[in-house]
Chain A
């Protein structure tokens, strides 16, 4: 171990040439050309009661939109998509389709090659967003106002649907930019060219939505105030915290929370200026772990090791994500968990000591066997948590540390709805957050409409 502790930690910026950054962080999948889209659209069988559609959390009418692409009606296709999923543009880029719509595609049965639904969805939605159009017109103003907390996928989807129905919406967003993890979390190569912001602009172009950035619930205002000033409130605050490793040395220099680091990366314009270690270890087995590992490699890290405490099939990152990591030269080490960080005299990490693991009667246990891996940076990506402080003293019910909701997104408070990552029982996917926001908006709309109906009903004698 002494060998590892010698020398200075190697964390520097500008490991690569300027053009390498451009290439590495370009579009993971270049968009389909018009011709490719035509050819691919012809592969869709226009299934009856299509299995893909059932597998899409937002129930996009996939056979219809693909047929519309095939008939040269990409804008109509876009409208079909946006009618079910206003963030269809981002979803087409980031959905783990291999476990959603494309997994269900009947083309798998015969040839293991699903229709490229995600790519086609992107093709169609790009057509409309690039043209600067918006497919829907707001209904006449209802006079109701709704507050939405958080401008992530859940908040945006909810706000759009409410605005569509004619309600006035104000979004309160803690960060300086709207978009939530679309802007601060999704891997850079999945949403290039400022797409997250373009999509936010597209969503807001429906009108009737006021965006208040830099406004933090629990700091700048309280839930009580929101409930007082608005007819309904939707909470789409995502997950503010991360799980702790609970190991020695966690606070040392060079030890990072992967989500925060990715967020910095996403906000860095000149990636050559972002420091990264020569050797990086990432702890975790989900999408965040893979994204941190791959993006480190793309920034010029020589050795990246993902350490996961269980076996390959248990990893939450999809098969596709795992393959992506491997083809980008990331080493994945299974059945090992962090024991402690090796810290140099300067207080900076030099490596990590891991304990081998195995299953014993279905329980994960350490084997007592230890290995060390040298590292100039360590990322922890072992899960995010909901931070309920902002809701302290509101009496809102939580389950498993997240907000408890019914199937319409209602919380325990009468006029408060919630959705996205911050609610219990979710899938922690962009598309799932969009669906939550949409469902909650419809529920709020029904509630507000019923309220109006009650107010205006003739009084019975």
Chain B
């Protein structure tokens, strides 16, 4: 059995699965149940200064569903914990005492003044918690008061607060980033400059889930009105993965420990986040949808997969996919593919044909000799992968790579074996070797 133990900034946990700071971690009752279910750690629901915030008394959540009511995306307008600071601190102390092998990180959000941070850090230290996570992420409510994403959107503030915290606690400091920015590398660099030990991301994405067409108001409404919330759940995973990859391959932040968050629902999702460099992962929506029991499959599935790949510890594969993320300009233009339809698997739904015919390259037949038959026309196929993605049958359409020396029937050009990218292409107006915006993948130390 693979060893799932993790050591993240010196914070040890029996597995990389932590619960993200959110309702599942708002009380000792929930956290104890989570630990009983097997979660490796928690980031306690964000604490703030007393008097505590108040939440709305109407609906806090909205969701997007698939046809079988499978929850695809969740939206919330909940604030940070609405329980007194004292109560939370006491419960953290008790739970950490009773569950010493589990990670307990405490999420914090106080006004942007050094004294506020210094005083709360002292009190958290007394609980015996393993670390703090600075919540610079919530996009709703708290941001109107100059906290949460209002801080996370200004790199200078991030750096400043991170520096205060590092100077005033022995605990590891994790900065939780908001995705509600244009380029995640700036806040990440700021966190690093401020001395943060790690970043965690993503927090929720500003969102309106839908419009109630009878009430003519965004849904869910509270007394006829609604405000934007924060979006999370399976739908946000691709956004989170990209931001994590950007931080992993940025020259300034490469190697900065990351705790990955955003739509993680299965062990496979977790493995993908870890492959892009996350030392631990945090989960909220999956637990809120299915209960804490989902962690059983995450633990078992990850461990079984690691065994199948020969990874004995999580460090064996964390970050392995980072060097494979590159800029478009460095992609090999001499890599030529054609779609191939497996006629034994094809159920003849015709979707590949109509997708390619209506919206792309007219490269898939519909009738051959008067018979319903779907086949790729190599002379037209640009290898775009659209048909692969929209075919309802798994593996029915695959992409075949043309070997060097073959002639691409579309262009009539012989496929070259050498790598050649856009920077070398004759059509590149500037013919520069690099139009640098993002860096090429950094080679991590030890590789």
Chain B residue at smallest Cβ distance from A110: B347
Cβ–Cβ < 8 Å partners of A39 in chain B = 67-68
Q: How far is the CA of A365 from the CA of B129 in the complex (A)?
A: 92
- Contact mask for chain A residues 35-49; partner B; CB cutoff 8 A; 1 contact, 0 none: 100110110011111
A49 touching B366 by the CB < 8 A rule?
A: yes
Q: How far is the CA of A451 from the CA of B214 in the complex (A)?
A: 50
Chain A, range 41-78, C-beta contacts under 8 Å to B = 41-42, 45-51, 70
Chain B, range 351-403, C-beta contacts under 8 Å to A = 351, 353-354, 366, 372, 392-393
Q: How far is the CA of A59 from the CA of B418 in the complex (A)?
A: 54
B351 touching A46 by the CB < 8 A rule?
A: yes
Q: How far is the CA of A107 from the CA of B351 in the complex (A)?
A: 13
Cβ–Cβ < 8 Å partners of B354 in chain A = 48
Say if the beta carbon of B323 comes within 8 Å of chain A.
Answer: no
B350 touching A49 by the CB < 8 A rule?
A: yes
B67 touching A38 by the CB < 8 A rule?
A: yes
One of B68, B346, B351, B393 near A47 (C-beta < 8 A):
B351
Say if the beta carbon of B66 comes within 8 Å of chain A.
Answer: yes
One of A35, A42, A49, A110 near B372 (C-beta < 8 A):
A49
B67 touching A47 by the CB < 8 A rule?
A: no
Chain A residue at smallest Cβ distance from B69: A35
A51 touching B67 by the CB < 8 A rule?
A: no
Chain B, range 51-84, C-beta contacts under 8 Å to A = 66-69
A48 touching B347 by the CB < 8 A rule?
A: no
Cβ–Cβ < 8 Å partners of B350 in chain A = 47-50
Q: In angstroms, how far is the closest chain A Cβ from the Cβ of B360? A: 14
Q: How far is the CA of A107 from the CA of B347 in the complex (A)?
A: 7
B349 touching A47 by the CB < 8 A rule?
A: yes
Chain A, range 133-174, C-beta contacts under 8 Å to B = none
Say if the beta carbon of A106 comes within 8 Å of chain B.
Answer: yes
Give chain B's interface secondary structure class.
loop
User: Range of interface residues on chain A?
Assistant: 10 to 19
Q: How far is the CA of A35 from the CA of B68 in the complex (A)?
A: 8
One of A41, A42, A106 near B349 (C-beta < 8 A):
A106
Q: How far is the CA of A109 from the CA of B392 in the complex (A)?
A: 12
Cβ–Cβ < 8 Å partners of A110 in chain B = 345, 347, 393
Say if the beta carbon of B90 comes within 8 Å of chain A.
Answer: no
Q: How far is the CA of A450 from the CA of B103 in the complex (A)?
A: 85
Say if the beta carbon of B122 comes within 8 Å of chain A.
Answer: no
Q: How far is the CA of A50 from the CA of B66 in the complex (A)?
A: 24
Say if the beta carbon of B410 comes within 8 Å of chain A.
Answer: no
One of B69, B345, B353 near A48 (C-beta < 8 A):
B353
Cβ–Cβ < 8 Å partners of B349 in chain A = 45, 47-48, 106
Q: How far is the CA of A46 from the CA of B355 in the complex (A)?
A: 12
One of A35, A38, A41, A51 near B348 (C-beta < 8 A):
A51
Chain A residue at smallest Cβ distance from B393: A110
Q: How far is the CA of A31 from the CA of B342 in the complex (A)?
A: 38
Q: How far is the CA of A70 from the CA of B68 in the complex (A)?
A: 11
Q: How far is the CA of A47 from the CA of B354 in the complex (A)?
A: 9
Known contacts A48-B366, A51-B372: A109-B67 contact under CB 8 Å: no
Cβ–Cβ < 8 Å partners of B366 in chain A = 48-49
Q: How far is the CA of A50 from the CA of B348 in the complex (A)?
A: 9
Cβ–Cβ < 8 Å partners of A41 in chain B = 67
Q: How far is the CA of A450 from the CA of B413 in the complex (A)?
A: 60
Chain A residue at smallest Cβ distance from B344: A109
Q: In angstroms, how far is the closest chain A Cβ from the Cβ of B210? A: 12
Cβ–Cβ < 8 Å partners of B372 in chain A = 49, 51
Q: How far is the CA of A271 from the CA of B106 in the complex (A)?
A: 72
- Contact mask for chain B residues 306-327; partner A; CB cutoff 8 A; 1 contact, 0 none: 0000000000000000000000
A109 touching B347 by the CB < 8 A rule?
A: yes
Q: How far is the CA of A254 from the CA of B227 in the complex (A)?
A: 76
Q: In angstroms, how far is the closest chain A Cβ from the Cβ of B435? A: 40
Chain A residue at smallest Cβ distance from B391: A45
Chain B residue at smallest Cβ distance from A40: B67
Q: How far is the CA of A95 from the CA of B14 in the complex (A)?
A: 60
Cβ–Cβ < 8 Å partners of A109 in chain B = 346-348
Known contacts A51-B372, A106-B348, A110-B347: A45-B392 contact under CB 8 Å: yes
One of A38, A42, A45 near B351 (C-beta < 8 A):
A45
Q: In angstroms, how far is the closest chain B Cβ from the Cβ of A117? A: 15
Chain A residue at smallest Cβ distance from B354: A48
- Contact mask for chain B residues 167-190; partner A; CB cutoff 8 A; 1 contact, 0 none: 000000000000000000000000
Q: In angstroms, how far is the closest chain A Cβ from the Cβ of B342? A: 12
Chain A residue at smallest Cβ distance from B346: A109
Q: How far is the CA of A42 from the CA of B65 in the complex (A)?
A: 12
Chain A residue at smallest Cβ distance from B367: A49
Q: How far is the CA of A137 from the CA of B336 in the complex (A)?
A: 56
Q: In angstroms, how far is the closest chain B Cβ from the Cβ of A419? A: 30
Q: In angstroms, how far is the closest chain B Cβ from the Cβ of A292? A: 38
B347 touching A42 by the CB < 8 A rule?
A: no
Which of A42, A46, A49, A51: most chain B Cβ within 10 A? A49
Known contacts A46-B351, A107-B347: A70-B393 contact under CB 8 Å: no
Q: How far is the CA of A49 from the CA of B67 in the complex (A)?
A: 24
Q: In angstroms, how far is the closest chain A Cβ from the Cβ of B397? A: 14
Cβ–Cβ < 8 Å partners of A70 in chain B = 67
B347 touching A106 by the CB < 8 A rule?
A: yes
Cβ–Cβ < 8 Å partners of A107 in chain B = 347
Q: How far is the CA of A246 from the CA of B119 in the complex (A)?
A: 105
Q: In angstroms, how far is the closest chain A Cβ from the Cβ of B134? A: 42
Known contacts A48-B353, A48-B354, A48-B366: A42-B348 contact under CB 8 Å: no
What are 14 A-to-B residue pairs whose CB atoms are below 8 Å?
A38-B67, A42-B66, A42-B67, A42-B68, A45-B349, A45-B392, A47-B349, A47-B351, A48-B351, A48-B366, A50-B350, A106-B347, A106-B349, A107-B347
Excluding A39-B68, A110-B345, 20 further A-B contacts by CB distance (< 8 Å) are: A35-B69, A38-B67, A39-B67, A42-B68, A47-B349, A48-B349, A48-B350, A48-B353, A48-B354, A48-B366, A49-B350, A50-B350, A51-B372, A70-B67, A106-B347, A106-B348, A107-B347, A109-B347, A109-B348, A110-B347
Which 7 A-B pairs give the minimum distances between C-beta atoms?
A48-B350, A42-B67, A109-B347, A48-B354, A106-B347, A45-B349, A47-B349
